[in-house]
Amino acid sequence: MSDIERHFLHSFFYPESVAVVGASSNQKTLNYNFIANLVNLKYRGKIYPVNPNAEEILGMKVYPSLKNIEGNVDLAVISVPVTKALDVLRDCVAKKVKNVVLIPGGFAEIGESGRRLQDEVLRLLRDNGIRAIGPNTLSPINADNNFTVSFRSIKKLPRGRISFIFQSGLYDPRINWLLSEFHMYLSKLIDLGNKMDVNEVDALEYLGQDPETEVIAMHLEGIAGDARELLRLLKRISMEKPVIVLKSGRTEAGAKAAASHTGSIIRASDAVFDAACKQAGVVRAQSLDEFFDLAKIFEYLYPMKGNRIHVSTGPGGEGVLTTDQCYYHGLTMAKLGEEAYNKLRTVFPPWEISANPLDLGICGQFNSGMDVGSVIVDAVAGDENVDCIALQGRIDRFIKPEEFLRVVSETVKRGKPVAIWMTVMPQGENTIVDQMEARRIPVFPSAERAIRALAALHRYYGLREAIRGE
Amino acid sequence: MSDIERHFLHSFFYPESVAVVGASSNQKTLNYNFIANLVNLKYRGKIYPVNPNAEEILGMKVYPSLKNIEGNVDLAVISVPVTKALDVLRDCVAKKVKNVVLIPGGFAEIGESGRRLQDEVLRLLRDNGIRAIGPNTLSPINADNNFTVSFRSIKKLPRGRISFIFQSGLYDPRINWLLSEFHMYLSKLIDLGNKMDVNEVDALEYLGQDPETEVIAMHLEGIAGDARELLRLLKRISMEKPVIVLKSGRTEAGAKAAASHTGSIIRASDAVFDAACKQAGVVRAQSLDEFFDLAKIFEYLYPMKGNRIHVSTGPGGEGVLTTDQCYYHGLTMAKLGEEAYNKLRTVFPPWEISANPLDLGICGQFNSGMDVGSVIVDAVAGDENVDCIALQGRIDRFIKPEEFLRVVSETVKRGKPVAIWMTVMPQGENTIVDQMEARRIPVFPSAERAIRALAALHRYYGLREAIRGE
């Protein structure tokens, strides 16, 4: 048994047998998707649907109660109304279930009566050595073995290097968008809900050790465990893996809203938390858009030491705006070496132009038929004065998809970060964006988002080195 | 002749006759679209294609030279290589053309030789009383009479209340996205390019007076005219019409890039400009995304006095994040009146929840089949304690499009701002987003963008009132 297998959370992500209490045979209900996902995504463990009112789900036998199951149950996923939760949990005790995921809301987040019920549940579980995620949760998802707990019919589950820690189902209505349209590659995902038992410290501890997880992205409404322990842990993990944190309840009003949402208590002011994050080497995101953008770029690319960027834009005016964005986010415009400069000049118009930011549009106009985008990336990719590359994707005229994919993909593989943003995001099947992101070339809908994400690769590097130098 | 008709720029937007020098009969070239747009969009003035190498374009006679045209030419659109520009301008002088739009680049922005050429062009025009937009430009566009100067084949040109001032074609590759997908309604658009003659002060003066223009959005790389005059003008116009400004070249590096792009000189530091904007009542945008978002919300909705917002979100966790965003942008969570609160309670789950932010998701779960979104908007719209409404569009389960469109559209018409953001933006034809925006209900791709835009309606109101109170 490896170290990671000894962590108690391991059996939540890799259960050998799972019972779904409340599984439904009605395709129109959310409770149908638990079993459907396990079957469709080919999860290989034992599956036991439990529902006193159903006989068969997707050809599988349905058990009236947990107690009727013959084999062991590693994990019971409980999706029943809150009023029936205690009864089901007593069945879990009787059945000697190891772990539970408690999905319903109606506990601590609704006030005093819910708090009392949650305390009663916790006592019952503790007395019987059962560990629990939730209540008020939906998870885990594990792309390593295709084990999923979700209300959504999950279309595909591309395996990758990043694991997510959520609180409160923020991701849930977006899960298919995240995996299929936004092209996130996933290792694991856990949603902590009310954090009655399993909390952010447990999740970080596990994912910090998990060899499949190379990047961690965490959404936090409040801190359930010891704040100092959390920060010590974040600091330790950040030395090895980038950790991105989105914390909500940053304002007083937001904190109040969090309290009535998951019963979270925000203990420290946001400024204190912000300073603590920096000391811990954590990359903080300020909004949901930024959180997903950073998650993508850290999954696709690797942290970078330098901050010298090369920028090419379609309309030249966007180069000026983009230069501003670079400086705001701590990047500087690379001064090209002679070789790169001479290569670039081959696509210049018949006069001198700025090499950085480069006006890709004017180059395209004077080199019609040439794949100007590929020439540019190829020219600057080999320059040691350039730490990263950002380019506006003008597929309408100046970029030939096939050659461009090859050149950029090679650049990324050689370890030089490249981010693309599209003038207009193409829609439909198998777009150039799909093709780029299939090769881990991240594509953003605007310059500011591309630059903000790219800059974070350097920001993390700087924070980590500062800690290493302490 | 009305006041506005006496302004020299009026005849650029409403020419009675236009010659396009360089018009092409080859559908694959950009120069084909000048005539095609005028014909397809049904511009009613006289059109004279000019090209010594073509005989017919879209069934129209092509003139070998300006001098061969029989009638008057109000405006000559000149799209020829820079080396031929002076010859064509001499023809303009001979033909007594009133105005020209000079499209090619290769002037002041390329350095000393271009600067000399630009000066020579300007002397020629001044000596002969000809006014000019450009060089290095593409415009104007006028949705009032469908007069357009564009390299793109413009699909539709929905008429609205906003006019844009651009510098340097930033909008050009996005024009169809802006009008057809982003659903911008337009009055006029002018692109100043190198601002050899017509500059931002002229454009603001004209649009400030234009009764068809109720909102102005301006992108500025540098200030060509007198900065104090510009700020005085901005202050005067802001009293009557919101003016949104995106200024690039904010950082030193950006300013340097601007100089090589349109030859613009940034004279004051960005902090000074920022303070001056506030004093002038200008709503400043910090990025291109924000610029377009603010343009949309000011075109769709009206400035609002109060800052009390009601927020509903799909996943409850998003309510906490959104509350943070509200406070960061100067909005406060409205405390509902009794009547609104009682109406809202009808969709609550069987326990008390926060009324603001409201967890639309949990309400939907306990009121399946009910159009929870419409009930919520209807409940808070009539409350005088609520100045504006933001709601996460969860069309998958909790909102019925038809009723929702009716309720929100009535709310917006009664003058209460509503902004929607979608959990996931739907794609395709005639989506719920298309339907909402056809009714001037603005839809954003994320909470932070919806809130940032909504807050600007109040920010403008506050700036304007501060100036009025001076």
Which pLDDT value is given to residue A261? 64
Residue B241's alpha-carbon distances to A214, B44, B170, B307, in angstroms, are: 52, 29, 23, 20
Residue that finishes a domain, picked among B300, B325, B341: B300
| pLDDT confidence bin for B111, thresholds 50/70/90 | confident
CB < 8 Å to B427, chain A: 427-428
Q: In what order do the strands lie in the sheet with B147-148?
A: B147-148, B141-142, B186-191, B159-166, B215-220, B243-247, B283-285
Residue A468, both tokens: 């290493």
| pLDDT confidence bin for A264, thresholds 50/70/90 | low
Same domain, B294 and B320: no
Same domain, B322 and B288: no
Cβ distance A332 to B105 less than 8 Å, yes or no, reads no
- A127: burial class by Cβ within 10 Å (0-12, 13-18, 19+)? exposed
Mean per-residue pLDDT for A169-193?
A: 94
Cβ distance B111 to A351 less than 8 Å, yes or no, reads yes
Q: Using alpha carbons only, how large is chain A's radius of gyration in Å?
A: 25
A330, closest residue in chain B (CA to CA): B251
| pLDDT confidence bin for B67, thresholds 50/70/90 | very high
Please state, in angstroms and rounded to a whole number, the distance separating the CA atoms of residues B385 and B336. 6
Residue B249, both tokens: 């070249």
Nearest-CA distance from B349 to chain A in Å?
A: 9
Same domain, B295 and B334: no
CB < 8 Å to B348, chain A: none
Mean per-residue pLDDT for B154-180?
A: 93
Which pLDDT value is given to residue A266? 53
CB < 8 Å to A394, chain B: 173
Nearest-CA distance from B468 to chain A in Å?
A: 32
CB < 8 Å to A257, chain B: 319-320, 323, 333, 354, 357
Bridge-partner residues for B308, per DSSP?
B332
Which pLDDT value is given to residue A396? 64
Same domain, A457 and A356: yes
| pLDDT confidence bin for B1, thresholds 50/70/90 | confident
- Within 13 Å of residue B456, how many CA atoms lie on the same side as its CB? 27
CB < 8 Å to A260, chain B: 353-354
Please state, in angstroms and rounded to a whole number, the distance separating the CA atoms of residues B11 and B369. 57
Same domain, B285 and B318: no
Please state, in angstroms and rounded to a whole number, the distance separating the CA atoms of residues B407 and B73. 50
Same domain, B383 and B261: no
CB < 8 Å to A319, chain B: 257, 261
The answer on pLDDT for A97 being more than 70 is yes
Nearest-CA distance from B266 to chain A in Å?
A: 12
B222, closest residue in chain A (CA to CA): A320
CB < 8 Å to B423, chain A: 173-174, 177
Mean per-residue pLDDT for A174-194?
A: 96
Residue that finishes a domain, picked among B237, B271, B300: B300
Nearest-CA distance from B5 to chain A in Å?
A: 31
Bridge-partner residues for B456, per DSSP?
none
Please state, in angstroms and rounded to a whole number, the distance separating the CA atoms of residues A51 and A20. 8
Residue that finishes a domain, picked among A100, A133, A166: A133
CB-nearest partner of B314 from A173, A252, A318: A173
Same domain, B281 and B356: no
A256, closest residue in chain B (CA to CA): B320
State what percent of residues in chain A have pLDDT above 90: 80
CB < 8 Å to A254, chain B: 320-321, 323-324, 327
CB-nearest partner of A319 from B261, B315, B357: B261
Cβ distance B253 to A333 less than 8 Å, yes or no, reads yes
Strands A159-166 and B141-142: unpaired
Residue B225, both tokens: 């005219």
Residue B62, both tokens: 């092509």
CB A418 within 8 A of CB A390: yes
Which pLDDT value is given to residue B262? 61
| pLDDT confidence bin for A397, thresholds 50/70/90 | low
The answer on pLDDT for B168 being more than 90 is no
| pLDDT confidence bin for B396, thresholds 50/70/90 | low
CB < 8 Å to B320, chain A: 221, 248-249, 254, 257-258, 261
B397, closest residue in chain A (CA to CA): A173
Q: Using alpha carbons only, how large is chain B's radius of gyration in Å?
A: 25
CATH of the domain at A119: 3.40.50.720
Same domain, B431 and B394: yes
> Minimal CA–CA distance to B378: which of B396, B365, B391, B397?
B391
Q: What's the mean pLDDT when you consider all of chain A?
A: 93
Nearest-CA distance from A222 to chain B in Å?
A: 11
The answer on pLDDT for A262 being more than 90 is no
Secondary element (H or E) of residue B283: strand B283-285
Nearest-CA distance from B226 to chain A in Å?
A: 22
Please state, in angstroms and rounded to a whole number, the distance separating the CA atoms of residues B330 and B332. 7
Same domain, A191 and A57: no
> Which stretch of A240-244, A376-380, B351-355 has the lowest confidence by average pLDDT?
B351-355
Alpha helices in A301-446 (DSSP H): 316-328, 338-345, 360-366, 372-381, 401-413, 432-438
Mean per-residue pLDDT for B416-434?
A: 92
Q: What is the DSSP letter of B31?
A: G
> Minimal CA–CA distance to B463: which of B289, B272, B234?
B234
Cβ distance B170 to A315 less than 8 Å, yes or no, reads yes
Same domain, B129 and B78: yes
The answer on pLDDT for A265 being more than 60 is no
Domain with B383 in it: 308-468
Cβ distance A315 to B173 less than 8 Å, yes or no, reads yes
Which pLDDT value is given to residue A315? 86
In chain A, how many domains are there? 3
Nearest-CA distance from A76 to chain B in Å?
A: 23
The answer on pLDDT for A252 being more than 80 is no
Angle in degrees, CA B193, B194, B197, rounded to 5: 105
In total, the C-beta contacts within 8 angstroms joining chain A to chain B are 192
**Most B-contacting residue of A165, A221, A292, A324 (CB-CB within 10 A), to test interface:** A324
Cβ distance B424 to A314 less than 8 Å, yes or no, reads no
CATH of the domain at B262: 3.40.50.261
B323, closest residue in chain A (CA to CA): A254
Which pLDDT value is given to residue B148? 98
Per residue in A59-84, pLDDT tens? 999 999 999 999 999 999 999 999 99
Output the furthest CA–CA distance in chain B (Å, rounded).
82
A104, closest residue in chain B (CA to CA): B362
CB-nearest partner of A248 from B169, B219, B317: B317
> Which stretch of A77-81, A381-385, B56-60, B390-394 has the lowest confidence by average pLDDT?
B390-394
Cβ distance A172 to B315 less than 8 Å, yes or no, reads yes
Nearest-CA distance from A369 to chain B in Å?
A: 13
| pLDDT confidence bin for B205, thresholds 50/70/90 | very high
CB < 8 Å to B424, chain A: 173-174, 177, 181
Mean per-residue pLDDT for B203-228?
A: 93
Same domain, B178 and B226: yes
| pLDDT confidence bin for A178, thresholds 50/70/90 | very high
Nearest-CA distance from A79 to chain B in Å?
A: 13
B324, closest residue in chain A (CA to CA): A254
Q: What's the mean pLDDT when you consider all of chain B?
A: 93
Nearest-CA distance from A80 to chain B in Å?
A: 13
Please state, in angstroms and rounded to a whole number, the distance separating the CA atoms of residues B430 and B426. 10
State what percent of residues in chain B have pLDDT above 90: 80
Output the furthest CA–CA distance in chain A (Å, rounded).
82
Same domain, B253 and B107: yes
> Minimal CA–CA distance to A386: which of A376, A399, A373, A395?
A376
A361, closest residue in chain B (CA to CA): B173
DSSP string computed for A133-202: E-SS----EETTTTEE--SS------EEEEEEEESSSTTGGGHHIIIIIS---EEEEEE-TT-SSS-HHH
CB < 8 Å to A314, chain B: 173
Per residue in B149-165, pLDDT tens? 999 999 999 999 999 99
Cβ distance A248 to B289 less than 8 Å, yes or no, reads no
